[in-house]
Amino acid sequence: MKTDIIFYRLFQELPDIFFELIGNPPEEASLYQFSSVEIKQTAFRIDGVFLPTQGSDSQIYFVEVQFQADGEIYSRLIAEICLYLRQNKPQNDWGAVILYPNRNVDTGNIKHYCEFFTSGRVRRIYLDELGEGASLPIGIATAKLVIATDDIAMPTAVNYAQARVLIDRTKSEINSPSKQQQLLQFIETILAYKFPAMSREEMEEMFGLSELKQTRFYQEAFQEGVEQGELKGKLKAVPAMLAAGLTVEQVAKALDLSVEEVRQVAQSHP
């Protein structure tokens, strides 16, 4: 499951959740536009950036969603940010937020970048330490649902309860019909990613959804669930192909994977 895709979509569709996560008023989202940015003449791309709307003096937020161990994450992230600042020369101040599922995934060495962390310019958020979902704002509880479980075909009792409570809270606590529908659709999207073996009818019955919306996100999530088996097979082939002497780019092209996917597998199989 491409967890980072879920989060970047979450921030694109419901940007106020990001500001809740970092402890700021969710209303700040109206001052920003969330996007990804390309850094010219390099292989770098920053997938998540909250850019202040024109004329605003609010700071820029660079967002990194990191659900796999990466020992070079901080050198890469700081390099990307510094290149962006050099090329774009923004007048606004900046900060960076890295989202981890837990501390075990945070394997990067901050030795050369500790000033960024002690100053608070770069912050790390561990989603499993945010508290129990029932006591959290609905937006943050929705973000936590993403880490409820990974790589399983069916929900456990605990994860079933978390999803069920979140759906009920959304229906009872969100007064705006459009916001309520938006949140429910995104919860459905997360469930479709998390439980690809469940049919629409099974999911509708299990989670009490009166109607499983035919949203674009849901359809994409459902299709990705179908393709997960094929993707896992490709990823398993990566170490052997690299050991045979192929480059990362050659493996990516042969298996129809992204270069980043191949690199992540290579880093986890040194």
Give pLDDT, residue 9. 82
Q: Are residues 123 and 194 in the same domain?
A: no
Residue 181 lies inside a defined structural domain of this protein: yes
Where a domain ends, among 197, 213, 229? 213
Q: Are residues 115 and 143 in the same domain?
A: no
Give pLDDT, residue 109. 92
Residue 184 lies inside a defined structural domain of this protein: yes
Dihedral Cα 154, 159, 163, 168, nearest 10 deg: 130
Where a domain ends, among 129, 157, 185? 129
Cα–Cα distance for residue pair 4/130, rounded to 1 Å: 18
Q: What are 2-29's pLDDT values in tens digits? A: 677 788 888 888 899 999 999 999 999 9
Q: Are residues 2 and 43 in the same domain?
A: yes
Cα–Cα distance for residue pair 255/262, rounded to 1 Å: 9
Give pLDDT, residue 25. 93
**Range picked from 95-109, 126-140, 247-261 for highest mean pLDDT:** 95-109
Percent of the chain whose pLDDT exceeds 70: 73
Q: What residues make up the domain containing 10? A: 1-129
What is the rounded average pLDDT of the residues 115-130? 94
Q: Are residues 174 and 53 in the same domain?
A: no
Whether the model clears a pTM of 0.75, i.e. scores above it, the answer is no
Q: Are residues 117 and 170 in the same domain?
A: no
Which are the contacts of 37, defined by CB distance < 8 A and separation ≥ 6? 45, 46, 49, 84
Sheet holding 45-52, edge to edge: 32-38, 45-52, 60-65, 94-100, 122-126
Q: Among 42-46, 60-64, 250-254, where is mean pLDDT lowest?
A: 42-46
